[in-house]
Structure 1
Amino acid sequence: MIALLLIAALSTTVLGAITGDYNCTTYATSFVYSPTATICANTYSDAVCKVLYPLASGDPDLAPNADTARPVNCWSGDAGTTFNADMKKAAVANCPKSCGFCCQTSAYNCKNVQCELADNVLVGPVPRLNCATITAAQCLSSQWRTIIAQDCPSACGFCNEGGCVDDVIDCANDISICNAVGMQTFVNTYCKKTCARCSSSSTTAASAGSSGSSCTSYIADSSTVCASWAVNGFCTNTFYTLAQRKAYCATTCKLC
């Protein structure tokens, strides 16, 4: 029964307007875009991206919690008949916001610190925040930025920062403060990234959290179609439980 439900959910006939690729979506009564689906900026101008990846006539722009159909050029080269990996790669690289693929970019595509159980005993680090509820204001807040970078890097696009960010976002506007007399207490606290004051321990901890498990081997996939499921978001979409991912595609999804 579960297998049938998985196949049905991964098909293009599910409820909702999003079809073809379900990455950067969550499931309620239908697939809708996740909070980080459109959080980034396009590499090309928004105007160019609208030409390259046009929405269906009358459709509103992609946005979190909306089920607007993803522009077909974002994932297909033949009007949606088949999935095309090269088309998606170009969309992620050039127009991720317009295609709702921000969570697939390098800044957002990493694992957050997660509680793990082994024989019903809590192991590993415990996140200090609920990564799913982090707001844009928190991403800019001096109170939260360092904690988010270490525990929930994918929520704010901190995946490439190694757990080290400036608590004050405009530190880099004047790097002379890094060596200014009388400013050292300030920069050591608030400008750690710009002034290279990050501790190696925090960077190491963040790297461990963002890369997930330290496993060297994985349980074999029990399904023969994991590769195609993964392309459609099976390994990352919260619609599927961790238990389901492990049961069917542990190796493909890199789960212990």
Structure 2
Amino acid sequence: MSLTFIVVSVLAMASGVEAVISGNYNCTTYNGTAFVYTPAAVACSNVISDASCQVLYAAPDTDYPAAGNDAERAYACYTTATATPASSVNDMVQAAYTNCPKTCGFCCMTSAYSCSNVAYPRLTCSSITSAQCQSSVWRTIIAQDCPASCGFCNDGGCVDAVVDCANDVSICNTVGMQDFVNTYCQKTCQRCASSTTTASSASSSTCTSYNADSSSSCAAWANNGFCTNTFYTTAQRKAYCATTCKLC
């Protein structure tokens, strides 16, 4: 057991202060004062019931991991009784994020969150909130640029803009709702067209001149698929990057 861990533990018990993150720093960030959990640390659901997870991984103090706090994980989330508490044991960590990722603050290690964001996102991926992850304004953009921030890594960039689409799949075939589902329910209704179709139609344009881009970020956005991705309507691409996307 390290001297640092002993001193911190003794001081915490003596002062009545709750334990702080000390043995495993996955899904945390340093805020200038202490290591705290990122929003992605607890953004998922446990695979087994929350009650079972709290039995398996009882909090060492009164709090469980939450976005922005520094409550120590249950030791069983990352180590064993025979290991030094400050040392992680890979098998224990894997078991924890496989079964109880939220209780242990390991959501960012699950497959839905463990991918790379794009090099030049239109949003600051590290500051995306849970509200934005649910927002019809932001979800499709986040799925493309910052999938790891909202657990979109397994969706291939195709998500519903409206989170309730799957509650009633009959909407996919409802007359008069097709414009809506094509825009807001692409995953549920299987309307995620390949980018090659859009790219072909864009490149076949016979225009010789285009409206000026209204955004100075068009070059970077184009590199990330803005001109070819069907998550964006033609009207949106034309409004912001008509010249870059070669849209009449």
Q: After the TM superposition, which residues 1-256 of structure 1 pair with which residues of structure 2 at under 5 Å, given as runs?
A: 17-27=20-30, 28-56=32-60, 58-78=61-81, 80-81=83-84, 82-114=87-119, 126-201=120-195
How far apart are 1:19 and its partner, in Å?
2.2
Equivalent pair of 1:73/1:87 in contact (CA under 8 Å): yes
Whether the aligned pair in 2 keeps the contact of 1:33 and 1:66 (CA below 8 Å) is yes
- Which structure's CA Rg is the greater one? 2
Deviations 1:44-83 (A, max 9, x none): 1111111101111x43221122211111001112255143
Kindly provide the amino acid, as one letter, of the partner of residue 43 in structure 2: I
Higher relative contact order (CA 8 A, sep 6+): 1
SS in 1 for 2:102: helix
CA RMSD of aligned residues (A): 2.3
Is residue 142–residue 150 contact of structure 2 (8 Å, CA) maintained in 1? yes
1:131 to 1:89, Cα distance in 2 relative to 1, 3 A: same
Preserved CA contact (<8 Å) 1:136 1:156: yes
Residue 178 of structure 1 aligns with an amino acid whose one-letter code is C
Alpha-carbon distance, 1:107 to partner: 1.0
SS of 2:137's partner is coil
The Cα shift of 1:198 comes to: 0.9
Distance 2:147 2:83 in 1: 33
Question: Residue 44 and residue 14 in structure 1: after superposition, are their counterparts in 2 closer, same or farther (change >3 A)?
Answer: farther
| 4+ residue runs over 6 A deviation | 11-16
CA distance in 2: counterparts of 1:65 and 1:173, whole angstroms: 32
Q: Say whether the 8 Å CA contact 1:171–1:191 is kept in structure 2.
A: yes
Rounded to whole Å, the distance in 1 between the matches of 2:42 and 2:7 is 22
Offset from partner CA, 1:83-136 (integer Å, 9 cap, x none): 32111111001110111101001111111112xxxxxxxxxxx21111112111
| Long gaps (5+) in structure 1 | 1-10, 115-125, 203-207, 210-256
State the TM-score, normalizing by the size of structure 2: 0.68
- Percent identical pairs in the alignment equals 59
